[in-house]
Each structure stands twice: as C-alpha cells, then as structure tokens.
Amino acid sequence: MQAQFVSARFDPTPGFAPRRPAATPLMAVSSLQKKAPGQTVFSEGDEAESIYEVIQGMVRLYKLLPDGRRLITEFRSSGELLGYAPEGACAYTAEAINEVTLCRYKRAAFERLIDETPGFAKRLLQAASHELSAAHSRMLLLGRKGASEKVASFLIGMADKQGHDERLEVPMTRADIADYLGLTIETVSRTLTKFRQEGLIALRACTSILILDRERLMELAAGNTDPEN
C-alpha cells in the first residue's frame, strides 16, 4: 500500500504519530521497531498478524521460486504500508535493506479500525487501487521491456520517489536492482556503464547516481526506441 495512510490520518507529521501514546485508538496498539540491514520483517506464507508502516529506511518485498530465483515486487520507504493481507498469509517476504524503523499495528486492532472508522476502508481501497495500477505497470516492464528500458525505468522511478530531479541515492545492491527488474547483476552493471558512457548518468559512488539527461532516460523508460540519437 502507498503513502502514509495510517499515521497521516491521525497526525499530520508522518513518522511521529506512534511516539505519542494512545492519542488515538490505533496508537494504543502500535509499537516502534528497528531492523538491521538484512533482517526479515516477515516471510512469505507467514500468518499476517501485523501491519507495518515504514518510518525510516527502505524495505524490499520479494517472492522466491523453489530453486532460489528471486523477484523483488516492490521497494517500500518512509510513509508506506506493508503486510496487509486480509486473506491470512503474507504474499511476500519483507526485509530491511538499510537501518529501518517500523511502526507495527496489531492486525485485530487494524481490522477493528477499518470497521469502526468511517471512510478508512475507502482510503485503504484507494491506496490499494493505486498500488494495483503500479503493479500493472511493473508487469509491462517485466514482460515487455528490454534491459535498457528497465534500468531507465528504475532510475526515473526511484528519482521520482525520492523527489529529486538530479541526485539519486540507491541504498540497494545491484543484486536487488537486478531482482527488481528481472535481470542479472551483470546486465544491470553493464547497462549502467553504457548509460554513463552515453552521458545519461554519472556515478559518484555505487550508491549515488547523478541523472544528467532526464529527458532521454524518460524516453527510454517509456519504451521509445528512438531511432534518432
């Protein structure tokens, strides 16, 4: 789910709501939690007993095939929700990428809130619809885009998410990026090198990318093969 719909509902300052105890029914049952890089929040198939909101840091959500092939369905950062699964079992695993702070809500209390707070279910529904729309775009990317288009989409998407036009902080490894795009580490690396040689980006460090030609990257991301140029 997307964009602070829990804390924001009760406190206009996202990320601080849970620290004021019992200001609302929900906060009474919420608790802060920290995760070190690589730690698991919950695993695919677990019973969904809690809903989490990311306060700080970045989380990867992924699914595995039996032989270890991995696909990261989404990255979650500050203000975003994870773990809501009315069906019972979690559909994916959630792991901390860097140092992560989470706010945890008990499932039962969350459900009660949905029932008792007029308009809350509708807000969640709108968030879920938005997320579904994003999921469809990702299917298009995974099923029909080439490597350059995938990497360009990733760069533009992350930049938008971070709100910067130019500098782009990439806390995840190349392996994470590869598993997010349905590529291998090597192909991601090669594609970034190619972008660098073409002057589309610059790499300050592995984790810090500068977007030099946003126009061209957006063209690529959109799937315009663009014969000129």
Partner DNA sequence: CGCAAACTTGATGTTGCTCAAGCTAGGTGG
Partner DNA sequence: CCACCTAGCTTGAGCAACATCAAGTTTGCG
Q: Which residues of this chain interact with a copy of itself, rule CB under 8 A?
A: 63, 65-67, 69-71, 73, 84-87, 91-92, 114-115, 119, 121-122, 124-126, 128-133, 135-140, 142-145, 179, 181-182, 222-225
Residue 109 binds which entry of DNA, a copy of itself, none, CB below 5-8 Å type-dependent: none
Min dist CB 8 to a copy of itself, Å, is 17
Residue 186 binds which entry of DNA, a copy of itself, none, CB below 5-8 Å type-dependent: DNA
Q: Which residues contact 196 (CB under 8 A, 6 or more apart)?
A: 202, 203
Adjacency order of strands within the sheet including 208-211? 167-169, 208-211, 201-205
Residue 187 in the binding site for DNA (CB under 7 A): yes
Q: 2, 80 in Cβ contact below 8 A? A: yes
Residue 135 binds which entry of DNA, a copy of itself, none, CB below 5-8 Å type-dependent: a copy of itself
- Return the H-helix or E-strand segment holding 195: helix 185-197
Q: 135-154 burial string, b = 16+ CB within 10 Å, else e?
A: eeebeebeeebebbbbbbbb
Candidates 183, 200, 217, 221; binder of DNA (CB under 7 A) is 183
Adjacency order of strands within the sheet including 93-96? 40-42, 93-96, 58-64, 70-77
What are the DSSP E strand ranges found in 65-121? 70-77, 81-82, 93-96, 100-106
Amino acid symbol at 47: E
Residue 24 binds which entry of DNA, a copy of itself, none, CB below 5-8 Å type-dependent: none
The two tokens of residue 194 are 């190619």
Min dist CB 172 to a copy of itself, Å, is 16
Instruction: Compare residues 53 and 95 and give the one whose CB is closer to DNA.
Output: 95
Residue 33 in the binding site for DNA (CB under 7 A): no
Residue 189 in the binding site for DNA (CB under 7 A): yes
Instruction: Compare residues 93 and 148 and give the one whose CB is closer to DNA.
Output: 148
The two tokens of residue 164 are 């910067």
Segment contacting DNA (CB under 7 A): 74-82, 83-91, 109-117, 141-149? 141-149
Residue 125 binds which entry of a copy of itself, DNA, none, CB below 5-8 Å type-dependent: a copy of itself
Instruction: Compare residues 160 and 165 and give the one whose CB is closer to a copy of itself.
Output: 160
